[in-house]
Amino acid sequence: MTNERKSVQGWLMTAPNEPFEQRDLEWQSPQSGELCVEIAGCGVCHTDLSFLYHGVPLRADLPLVLGHEISGTVCEVGEGVDTSLVGTPVIVPAVLSCGECALCKADQRRICRAQVMPGNDRHGGYASHVTVPARYVCPVGEKVLEKAQLWELSIVSDAVTTPYQAVKRSGLAAGELAVVIGAGGIGIHAVQVAAATGACVVALDIDEGKLETAKMAGAAAAINVKGLSVKDIRGAVRSEAKGLGAPKFLWKIFETSGTKPGQETAYALLSFGATLAVVGFTMAKLELRLSNLMAFDATAFGNWGCDPALYPEVLEWVADGRIKLSPYVERRPLAEINTVFEAAHRGELQKRVVLAP
């Protein structure tokens, strides 16, 4: 950042269901322990749609720059931050833990109560620059940049790392059945990661295009569940599992759609020894029989973002080709943010859009 720049160009959410407004924000140098990133790209996430359209509350006051899937280049650092980071390409984790509290020291960084989420706790990535805590910002090596462009890597911040952590926590092993509900957005990367473990992956969605993409990403089977009852879906999954030679039990189920029907389907698929990872988010409420968990000796867990300590591991998967980004992202100018959000709200996007300043 040169001394001549006195402002940051950002697109702000000013009120629910209202278009973003472009404004010049006053430039403030990073404080102690912070750094500033010149943004290469910021991915459009379902969470941002939830803030704008679905009544999910923000932790900071409006107006606010949204966006938490951020990649770019460090342009300035605050006191106590290694000055050699200036000029380094980085990924900004979607959730930045403090690293000092009892939860962080117990390796529970995901639920750090002092965590900072860009685009929620403070201005985020739909801007030219963003200032964030420096501790867990993840440098990007040359081998990674040989596989993906820096703007593409923005989606690693959430769309890739979040399902990666969910798959890892589930204990998914080669030969087991992984059911991914919702094959777009985060779901396509859940398919990729699960397939890369050697699991038999079955993708469920109501969009035929997304199901075809899921097959390209490694799904062994894809089921269009549009109009099907939960009973019919259960039967279809069992049939596919049998055809794939996957075990009848110990299924790993990943709910990534963030919809009420998706979550109802995920819970209905629980069977003996199954594990359910809730990755998608919705404000909708479900009625369910909790005793199914007891009767099946099953496990269910929620997955909030990804531990920033796992980001280097995910980048290794990108570098060696186990995770691919280019087929699943589309670059659009940041100035098109309102058009992009409207299309996303209508469910028209087939790829994850990355907005570039």
Q: What is the pLDDT of residues 99-127, one digit of tens each?
A: 999 999 999 999 999 999 999 999 999 99
pLDDT at residue 82 in the model: 97
3-class SS of residue 35: strand
Stronger pLDDT, 350 or 9, i.e. the higher one: 9
- On whether the CB atoms of residues 121 and 139 are closer than 8 A, the answer is no
Residue 1 scores a pLDDT above 60: no
339 contact partners, CB below 8 Å, separation of at least 6: none
Q: How far apart are CA 321 and CA 327, in angstroms?
A: 12
pLDDT 10s digits, 254-267: 999 999 999 999 99
Model pLDDT for residues 169-227, shown as the tens digit of each residue:
999 999 999 999 999 889 999 999 999 999 999 999 999 999 999 999 999 999 999 99
The residues, any chain, with a CB within 8 Å of residue 214's CB and separated by 6 or more, are 180, 183, 187, 188, 191, 201, 203, 205, 222
> Is pLDDT at 44 greater than 90 in this prediction?
yes
Instruction: Say if residues 136 and 73 touch (Cβ distance below 8 Å).
Output: no
**Alpha carbons 58 and 52: distance in angstroms, whole number:** 10
- pTM equals 0.94
CA dihedral (153, 158, 160, 164) in degrees, to 10, reads: 140
Q: How confident is the model at residue 5 (pLDDT cuts 50, 70, 90)?
A: low
pLDDT of residue 6: 66
CATH architecture assigned to 161-302: 3-Layer(aba) Sandwich (3.40)
User: Dihedrals φ, ψ of 271, to 5°?
Assistant: -145, -165
For the record, the structure tokens of 221 come out as: 């089977």
**What's the pLDDT at 274?**
98
Q: What is the CATH number of domain 7-158+306-356?
A: 3.90.180.10
**350 pLDDT tier (thresholds 50, 70, 90):** confident
Q: How far apart are CA 104 and CA 357, in angstroms?
A: 34
pLDDT at residue 129 greater than cutoff 90: yes
pLDDT tens string 65-96: 999 999 999 999 999 999 999 999 999 999 99
Q: Strand runs (DSSP E) across 93-194, as ranges?
A: 129-133, 138-139, 177-181
> Which residues make Cβ contacts (< 8 Å) with residue 316, sequence separation at least 6?
none
What residue ranges do the domains of the chain occupy?
7-158+306-356, 161-302
229 residue type, one letter: S
pLDDT for the residue numbered 4: 54
**pLDDT category, 3, cuts 50, 70, 90?**
very low
For residue 233, what is the DSSP state? H
The yes-or-no verdict on residue 43 having pLDDT over 50 is yes
**What span, in angstroms and rounded, lies between the C-alpha atoms of 245 and 129?**
50
Name the nearest CA neighbour of 275 among 286, 285, 262, 266.
266
The number of beta carbons lying within 10 Å of the beta carbon of residue 54 is 17
pLDDT tens-digit series, residues 268-319: 999 999 999 999 998 899 999 999 999 999 999 999 999 999 999 999 999 9
Least confident of 2-6, 147-151, 166-170, 344-348: 2-6
Residue 28 pLDDT level (bands cut at 50, 70, 90): confident
